[in-house]
Amino acid sequence: MSTRIGQLLRKLRGDRSPSDIADELGVHRNSVTRWESGTRVPSFDTLRSLLDLLGASDDERLELLKPAGIADHDGTEEAA
Protein backbone atom coordinates (compact mmCIF):
# COMPACT_ATOMS: atom_id res chain seq x y z
CA MET A 1 0.00 0.00 0.00
CA SER A 2 2.85 2.44 0.70
CA THR A 3 3.90 2.36 -2.96
CA ARG A 4 0.35 3.14 -4.02
CA ILE A 5 0.21 6.03 -1.56
CA GLY A 6 3.44 7.46 -2.94
CA GLN A 7 2.32 7.16 -6.54
CA LEU A 8 -1.02 8.78 -5.78
CA LEU A 9 0.57 11.63 -3.82
CA ARG A 10 3.03 12.41 -6.62
CA LYS A 11 0.18 12.38 -9.14
CA LEU A 12 -2.16 14.55 -7.09
CA ARG A 13 0.29 17.19 -5.92
CA GLY A 14 1.08 18.18 -9.51
CA ASP A 15 3.27 21.29 -9.56
CA ARG A 16 3.20 21.78 -5.81
CA SER A 17 6.42 20.97 -3.99
CA PRO A 18 6.67 18.58 -1.03
CA SER A 19 7.48 21.67 1.06
CA ASP A 20 4.20 23.33 0.01
CA ILE A 21 2.22 20.24 0.98
CA ALA A 22 4.12 19.89 4.26
CA ASP A 23 3.46 23.53 5.18
CA GLU A 24 -0.25 23.15 4.51
CA LEU A 25 -0.43 19.97 6.61
CA GLY A 26 1.84 21.21 9.38
CA VAL A 27 4.40 18.42 8.95
CA HIS A 28 8.07 18.35 8.01
CA ARG A 29 8.96 18.27 4.30
CA ASN A 30 10.89 15.04 4.86
CA SER A 31 7.65 13.35 5.93
CA VAL A 32 6.06 14.11 2.58
CA THR A 33 9.07 12.89 0.61
CA ARG A 34 9.18 9.68 2.68
CA TRP A 35 5.49 9.05 2.02
CA GLU A 36 6.07 9.57 -1.69
CA SER A 37 9.09 7.25 -1.75
CA GLY A 38 7.23 4.56 0.18
CA THR A 39 9.71 4.42 3.07
CA ARG A 40 7.07 5.69 5.51
CA VAL A 41 3.28 5.70 5.66
CA PRO A 42 1.26 8.59 7.09
CA SER A 43 -1.13 7.98 9.97
CA PHE A 44 -4.74 7.41 9.00
CA ASP A 45 -5.78 10.91 10.11
CA THR A 46 -2.88 12.51 8.25
CA LEU A 47 -3.60 10.47 5.13
CA ARG A 48 -7.24 11.56 5.23
CA SER A 49 -6.20 15.23 5.59
CA LEU A 50 -3.65 14.84 2.83
CA LEU A 51 -6.14 13.28 0.41
CA ASP A 52 -8.65 16.03 1.24
CA LEU A 53 -6.01 18.70 0.65
CA LEU A 54 -5.02 17.19 -2.70
CA GLY A 55 -8.61 16.64 -3.85
CA ALA A 56 -8.46 12.86 -4.19
CA SER A 57 -11.56 11.31 -5.72
CA ASP A 58 -13.49 8.51 -4.03
CA ASP A 59 -12.12 6.08 -6.63
CA GLU A 60 -8.54 7.13 -5.86
CA ARG A 61 -9.15 6.69 -2.13
CA LEU A 62 -10.67 3.24 -2.64
CA GLU A 63 -7.78 2.20 -4.88
CA LEU A 64 -5.49 2.54 -1.85
CA LEU A 65 -7.53 -0.10 -0.03
CA LYS A 66 -7.52 -2.68 -2.81
CA PRO A 67 -5.28 -5.64 -1.96
CA ALA A 68 -2.40 -6.27 -4.36
CA GLY A 69 -3.06 -8.99 -6.94
CA ILE A 70 -6.79 -8.26 -7.24
CA ALA A 71 -8.02 -7.98 -10.82
CA ASP A 72 -8.73 -4.41 -11.89
CA HIS A 73 -11.99 -3.45 -13.58
CA ASP A 74 -10.36 -3.96 -16.97
CA GLY A 75 -9.35 -7.53 -16.10
CA THR A 76 -5.66 -6.85 -15.60
CA GLU A 77 -4.02 -7.87 -12.38
CA GLU A 78 -2.05 -5.44 -10.25
CA ALA A 79 1.43 -6.64 -9.34
CA ALA A 80 2.07 -7.38 -5.67
What are the domain boundaries of the chain? Answer: 2-63
pLDDT for 19: 96
Q: Would the pLDDT of 21 be above 60?
A: yes
* pLDDT tens digit sequence for 39-76: 999 999 999 999 999 999 999 998 888 776 555 555 55
Cβ-based neighbour number of residue 35 at 10 Å: 24
Q: Indicate the average pLDDT of the chain.
A: 85
Q: What pTM value is reported for the model? A: 0.75
Please state, as a whole number, how many other Cβ atoms lie within 10 Å of the Cβ of residue 9.
22
Residue partners of 34: CB distance under 8 A and separation at least 6:
40
The CATH code that applies to domain 2-63 is 1.10.260.40
